Amino acid sequence: DSGVTQTPKHLITATGQRVTLRCSPRSGDLSVYWYQQSLDQGLQFLIQYYNGEERAKGNILERFSAQQFPDLHSELNLSSLELGDSALYFCASSDPMDEQYFGPGTRLTVT
Amino acid sequence: GESVGLHLPTLSVQEGDNSIINCAYSNSASDYFIWYKQESGKGPQFIIDIRSNMDKRQGQRVTVLLNKTVKHLSLQIAATQPGDSAVYFCAENNAGNMLTFGGGTRLMVKP
């Protein structure tokens, strides 16, 4: 158990809908990262937050957004969902030594 | 559990043998490299890391070798066990704490 929690574990929704994925980092970690893992693209970095502020952005679509709250939990919002958004979404948090600890993921299925 | 990828290269080894998993990275400016293990249905789990000022680092049953000249990273697992069966990813850290993952290698351990 990495100490990073993600909810929900599974999510099934229809095209065009909007969903919110939630992540709670390990106690004491200020950084939160979001990754997408799909069969054809592998693990791809989406976005990083540090202590409530956006720190780095990767291959994140404009339809996707994230935020980190004062209690350090983070949410990833995916809107106007398409079939190709079906994937595993992982959250990770890091300690000051840079090690990233991954949560168990949320499996999103868009039908 | 979920399949991480259907077209991953696969390394099949006998229980008790040593395993070597290789990875080529892309960015010569990367200064930190990590190996992750991902079991079916779980998030990536940190195994071992190495900074660019080192060429070798050992952990418990695992060794990471870094060859910056050819931008190559390898993970050696000694006395491979059935519990080592998983997909292994290398990741490079550049541009802050943004990880770029390799495509992954599936390790299968035959009892």
Q: Is A2 on the interface with B (CB under 8 A)?
A: yes
The pair of structure tokens assigned to B100 is 């770029």
Residue B4 has pLDDT above 50, yes or no: no
Q: Which residues contact A12 (CB under 8 A, 6 or more apart)?
A: A109, A111
For position B5, what pLDDT does the model report?
46
Strands B32-38 and B19-24, sheet pairing: unpaired
Report CB contact under 8 Å: B5, A42.
yes
For position B95, what pLDDT does the model report?
64
Cα dist from B97 to A10, A14, A21, A58, A90, whole Å = 28, 34, 22, 11, 16
Q: Is A12 on the interface with B (CB under 8 A)?
A: no
Helix then strand then coil, in percent of chain B rounded to 5, is 5, 55, 45
For position B96, what pLDDT does the model report?
67
| Residue A32: band (very low, low, confident or very high) from pLDDT cuts 50, 70, 90 | very high
Nearest CB to A31; choose among B4, B42, B97:
B97
Residue A33, SS3?
Answer: strand
Nearest CB to A88; choose among B2, B32, B93:
B2
Report CB contact under 8 Å: B36, A102.
yes
Cα A106 to Cα B62: distance, rounded to the nearest angstrom: 29
Task: Round the average pLDDT of chain A to a whole number and report it.
Answer: 94
Is the separation of the CB atoms in A94 and B49 below 8 Å? no
Is the separation of the CB atoms in B75 and B62 below 8 Å? yes
Is the separation of the CB atoms in B67 and B8 below 8 Å? no
For position A88, what pLDDT does the model report?
96
Work out the angle at residue B27's Cα, subtended by the Cα atoms of residues B92 and A91, and round it to the nearest 5 degrees: 30
Give B21-48 pLDDT, tens digit per residue.
999 998 888 889 999 999 988 999 999 9
Residue A109 has pLDDT above 60, yes or no: yes
